[in-house]
Amino acid sequence: MSGSAPKPDAPALSGVLPPVPTTFRPEDGGFAEAPFVDNLERWMEHPLAGVLVLGSNGEAPLLTDDECDAVVIAARRAVPRERILLVGTGRQSTAATIGATRRAFEAGADAALVVTPSYFRDRMTPEALRHHYEAVAGEAPGPILLYHVPAFTAVNLAVPTALELASHPRIAGIKDSSGDVTRMERLTAGAPPGFAVLTGNASVLYPSLALGAAGAILAAACVAPATCCDLWRAVGDGDHARARALQARLTPLARAVTSRHGVAGLKALLEHLGWHGGPVRPPLRELSPAERADLAETWSRFEAGEEAP
Amino acid sequence: MSGSAPKPDAPALSGVLPPVPTTFRPEDGGFAEAPFVDNLERWMEHPLAGVLVLGSNGEAPLLTDDECDAVVIAARRAVPRERILLVGTGRQSTAATIGATRRAFEAGADAALVVTPSYFRDRMTPEALRHHYEAVAGEAPGPILLYHVPAFTAVNLAVPTALELASHPRIAGIKDSSGDVTRMERLTAGAPPGFAVLTGNASVLYPSLALGAAGAILAAACVAPATCCDLWRAVGDGDHARARALQARLTPLARAVTSRHGVAGLKALLEHLGWHGGPVRPPLRELSPAERADLAETWSRFEAGEEAP
Amino acid sequence: MSGSAPKPDAPALSGVLPPVPTTFRPEDGGFAEAPFVDNLERWMEHPLAGVLVLGSNGEAPLLTDDECDAVVIAARRAVPRERILLVGTGRQSTAATIGATRRAFEAGADAALVVTPSYFRDRMTPEALRHHYEAVAGEAPGPILLYHVPAFTAVNLAVPTALELASHPRIAGIKDSSGDVTRMERLTAGAPPGFAVLTGNASVLYPSLALGAAGAILAAACVAPATCCDLWRAVGDGDHARARALQARLTPLARAVTSRHGVAGLKALLEHLGWHGGPVRPPLRELSPAERADLAETWSRFEAGEEAP
Amino acid sequence: MSGSAPKPDAPALSGVLPPVPTTFRPEDGGFAEAPFVDNLERWMEHPLAGVLVLGSNGEAPLLTDDECDAVVIAARRAVPRERILLVGTGRQSTAATIGATRRAFEAGADAALVVTPSYFRDRMTPEALRHHYEAVAGEAPGPILLYHVPAFTAVNLAVPTALELASHPRIAGIKDSSGDVTRMERLTAGAPPGFAVLTGNASVLYPSLALGAAGAILAAACVAPATCCDLWRAVGDGDHARARALQARLTPLARAVTSRHGVAGLKALLEHLGWHGGPVRPPLRELSPAERADLAETWSRFEAGEEAP
């Protein structure tokens, strides 16, 4: 991990983090700790900055609060102190978000990722979002990150609002999963030192880093951690030709495990690669055989790809 | 209440229901039971078919499960057995929805209103929604209603999917809050006998009823129960001129307590009228003075309105 | 034709008009006058209020100005004076719209239908649209109608703007093809006497008329003029049960010749019924055999339909 | 100008082009040739690759065909042969687009920019767009470029369709104004050698060039040609730090002359800078005094900007 000077009470946040899936027992659908820890240990063999648990890819909205605690405790055992354990803690109500954030820090989180509330989305005005995040940050025992992901929430966290919040001492960064690079440009250009701008879209990893993003939280990093870390390092080294070549290789894979096949696709590909995947929770559905074949083919092409010109 | 022959194990569902707000204590934000019951008793003085609790206007996504239980128990005390106590029980996961549905029936619900899951909205395919609702219906102790409200969920429950589900013995109807009258037309034309099509938009109450909708669940019915019931009866009586005149009077009011001012507006207007309103839960925000003035003016115009030509 | 008192210089506009396709010669794609007139004469056997030429279904944006003149002149020969010849004259620039409107009246139009400009759609503010329509109305030799069709234009003509324009002596009505019945309600409730509110969606014909719309311009009226006219009359006669039954029969047909298959579908179905259809102009494409089969099946069901309960 | 090997019959297309406004006479709104040529001569003092006339910023949809001819002839006189004169020739019909393309080449165009047809946008399937562009390319006397600008057209030219068309010998490139950098990545990664990928959004100029875009057509290049050319060269020189700094300076200006104030803003800013602007054509509207003040302030900040770290 490296990067610009961190905020006083925030760990420097830069580099690549995988948003790790929560593994479930096939027999009863409960949280399966052993394969979860096993996966984490394998990710820790790569130069990842840390991991995100209880994000969208962790199926967090489908877990109970007790399950969330268990996931964080298990993760903390597997993630060494020098890596970041980032935990998703957003809820619909401000009070529940504060509660979930406190529990996450008690269970070992280094930082919390707080998605915008979304049910009353036409009421999520800049003012409402600002008050929500200030209230959560004010009660959080450690640093929090804003999380803008309109594909899931249909809510817009406007750039000026995010930049206003960026000066709060407990708000350490933002994960922006809009895929909108003009937002990355405006966020990196306008953010104060130590505020980490992270992209959540592997399809725009290179341009985001080139524009000054500190890092990324990427489903693709679950299945291709080496390539994602290589790309991050290439930009740091000023090797733009290599970064661009890695991006061209990464994009088709990234699209397959996000927009095309979602969490079920990510789990299916992990299994295909010999990691632990397992079932998704309903209402999510398992992939069809045709979708699995598409994933396998996408992976074959990725593996066969030349990395640099 | 009246209407077409009900499903074997479902109460006939027709007429108007208000989606009642959950009242909170100003001092600590907890559920305030006394004003909640007081409001309910006043609604019961009108010929409403029943009430919906724990809907969007009940701020259900902002309540804990224990608070939900308390709301249903309190409502059951105030709502006589011959009226319908409809309870919102949708959650993001299928399992949690089943759990909430069971708890609602145990606490006294007559029927459950199940909103489409929404967080993983790009995965909410017709097949995923069909499996979700079949699983919930299969475990529900009583009748459930589908709930399509894209303004909140950004999820589409396609008409053919809804009509497929309509033949399930435990799926007794649908609340459609899209405001899309072509959907009302296709739902009423295609639904089997005893399947209740309800609109959730007071702005299209008359055309929906004219097309055969059995009833409506309307925020406007919280503040103008008499007018909403009158309109419902006018269509039943074939008095279309009166229904149309009532609609013209109702529409501006309906827009004020939904799209323009939301739940906070509904509560503010209830207070303005001498009922119990009280605070909303963050991240929702109270109205500004200008917004309150707009509401008051809208109400004045409504009150001054002539009801029939 | 009947309806409320017309504006001083406007013909009363009520009833049903088909938006007639422009027929082209298969050999060279030029305007084919004979089949066009032949079709018009057949429509005139029905109690239609008149016809619309050079609308979207007339492929107007794909015609030259000279072809537009020829179409209007041909139409005027076939449409008797006591029926309305409505002509689409909207262009991107205000000046070109004025020019096309003048030419249409010179060629025999009774009224002009002016679609919102759309290319610079993010600049089509209420103020810009108001100035545009006032400029066109100020120069028009006869009455004009506003035309709101977001499916084609992606432009919103807000209800308050339309109602402001409704008081202009030369603006005689609006064709609203949004399919949004709340707009129909607000337009009919707010429009001055003599301002004709027409729906452009057969799927909401009955609810629109029930709310007070004066009439309709419907692709479905090209292939099912008798049914559309019957429905219009049923509402006028207060026979809502019959209107609702006719609506249920009409909706599937209406969807087939609009959203599902477009202009090419309308022409293909006319041919299937023994009228003149012929080719569409590129970039529009002819239907595939599977699409033709779908149309034929939709028609069979329509023909087999029972009209009243 | 430089870049990868051009197609056999196409000029190499790389570098920056301004999409130049069409100047109108204040007295009668007609095309004002002298100020138009005067502006062009000033742009030619910069190392721009050429110019685009009759694009969206040229108000092309508001001009007559004769005016279009006059604009191209005037531009050819001012633009030396070694620079590219690119001319917008898209129309709604395929036949009219072919006609306009031929006229443009006869009047001196080096290449034609063909926007997607948009009126029948729900029919603009990949197949329809492919046939349209193949027909135009087949009849064009010189190279054409695809033009994807959903902000104006609300039409999507899918990346796979664009890449299929890229192998056509007369289709020399694409201007993509979606602002979606994932599209730039996929287009540059998938295009054959000699196919020029150009961005139409100055807000993503640096990331687009970093990903391999050959150049850009930018409203911002009308008012800040030096900065745009510098940024293009910086990327060519591998000076990413400088490119990023220039981007940060350029973005606020770019947003002001596109999404915030449109063509009227571009013309107003040109006038503010001592170039020729003049009126826009209705239905476009002139800026308000407040909007002009906002533009002037944006320009002051741009001018005061430091260009490099």
**Cα nearest neighbour of B239 on chain C:** C238
When pLDDT is cut at 50, 70 and 90, the band that residue D215 belongs to is very high
Looking at B76, B132, B175, B267, which residue is catalytic? B175
The D residues from 130 to 169 touching C (CB cutoff 8 Å) are: 131-132, 135, 151-154
**Long-range own/partner contacts, residues B159-163 (CB < 8 A, 24 or more apart):** B159/B183, B159/B186, B159/B187, B159/B190, B160/B126, B161/B126, B161/B129, B161/B130, B162/B187, B163/B187, B163/B190, B163/B191
DSSP characters for B8-26?
A: TTS----EEE-BPPPPB-T
CA B233 to chain centre: 18
Check CB contact of C200 with chain B, cutoff 8 Å.
Answer: no
At C169-217, the pLDDT tens digits run 999 999 999 999 999 999 999 999 999 999 999 999 999 999 999 999 9
**Cα nearest neighbour of C255 on chain B:** B182
Q: Which of B54, B63, B68, B93 to mutate to test the interface with A (most CBs of A within 10 A)?
A: B93
Check CB contact of B285 with chain A, cutoff 8 Å.
Answer: yes
3-state secondary structure of D112: strand
ipTM score here?
0.94
Residue type, B14: S
Minimum-distance CB partner of C132 among D92, D153, D283: D283
Which tokens is C236 given? 């006028």
Q: Which of B4, B180, B181, B197 to mutate to test the interface with C (most CBs of C within 10 A)?
A: B181
* d(C-alpha C107, C-alpha C10), whole Å: 18
Q: Which chains contact D through at least 3 pairs of Cβ atoms less than 8 Å apart?
A: A, C
CB B14 within 8 A of CB B1: yes
Minimum-distance CB partner of C181 among B181, B238, B244: B181
pLDDT at C309 over 80: no
Minimum-distance CB partner of C203 among B182, B201, B248: B182
> Nearest-CA distance from D108 to chain A in Å?
36
Higher pLDDT, A215 or D12: A215
**Cα nearest neighbour of B205 on chain C:** C182
CA B38 to chain centre: 19
Check CB contact of C203 with chain B, cutoff 8 Å.
Answer: yes
When pLDDT is cut at 50, 70 and 90, the band that residue D288 belongs to is very high
> Which secondary structure element, helix H or strand E, spans residue A38, and what is its range?
helix A33-43
**Rounded average pLDDT over B235-239:** 97
DSSP class of residue A15 equals E
> Nearest-CA distance from A115 to chain B in Å?
11
Looking at D7, D91, D168, D175, which residue is catalytic? D175
D123/C283 CB distance under 8 A = yes
CB C86 within 8 A of CB C109: yes
> C-alpha distances in angstroms, A207 versus A215, A244, A302, B275, D90?
11, 9, 20, 56, 31
Q: What pLDDT, on a 0 to 100 scale, did the predictor assign at position D305?
A: 85
CB A122 within 8 A of CB B262: yes
Higher pLDDT, C306 or A52: A52
Backbone angles phi, psi at B17, to 5 degrees: -125, 135
When pLDDT is cut at 50, 70 and 90, the band that residue B306 belongs to is low
Q: Which chains contact C through at least 3 pairs of Cβ atoms less than 8 Å apart?
A: B, D
| Residue whose tokens read 């995988």 | A18
> Which residues in chain D have Cβ-Cβ distances shorter than 8 Å to C131?
282-283, 285
Check CB contact of C9 with chain D, cutoff 8 Å.
Answer: no
pLDDT at D164 over 90: yes
Average confidence score pLDDT of chain B: 94
Average confidence score pLDDT of chain C: 94
> Which residues in chain B have Cβ-Cβ distances shorter than 8 Å to A262?
120, 122-123
> Nearest-CA distance from D217 to chain C in Å?
18
Minimum-distance CB partner of C207 among B207, B238, B248: B207
User: How many Cα neighbours within 13 Å face the side chain of B291?
Assistant: 18
pLDDT at C132 over 90: yes
At C30-70, the pLDDT tens digits run 999 999 999 999 999 999 999 999 999 999 999 999 999 99
**Rounded average pLDDT over A259-271:** 96
Check CB contact of B210 with chain C, cutoff 8 Å.
Answer: yes
Backbone angles phi, psi at A290, to 5 degrees: -65, -40
> Which residues in chain A have Cβ-Cβ distances shorter than 8 Å to D150?
none
3-state secondary structure of B87: strand
* d(C-alpha A52, C-alpha A43), whole Å: 12
Higher pLDDT, B121 or D306: B121
* d(C-alpha B103, C-alpha B126), whole Å: 27
3-state secondary structure of C174: strand
Q: What is the pTM of this model?
A: 0.94
Q: How far apart are the first and last CA of chain B?
A: 27
* d(C-alpha B131, C-alpha B191), whole Å: 19
Exposed e or buried b per residue across D66-100, where buried means at least 16 C-beta atoms within 10 angstroms of its C-beta: ebbbbbbebbbebbeeebbbbbbbbbbbbbbbbbb
CA D302 to chain centre: 22
* d(C-alpha D264, C-alpha A140), whole Å: 48
When pLDDT is cut at 50, 70 and 90, the band that residue C139 belongs to is very high
Average confidence score pLDDT of chain A: 94
Q: Write the burial class of residue D274 (CB in 10 Å: 0-12 exposed, 13-18 middle, 19+ buried).
A: exposed
CA torsion angle D252 D257 D259 D260 (round to 10): 80
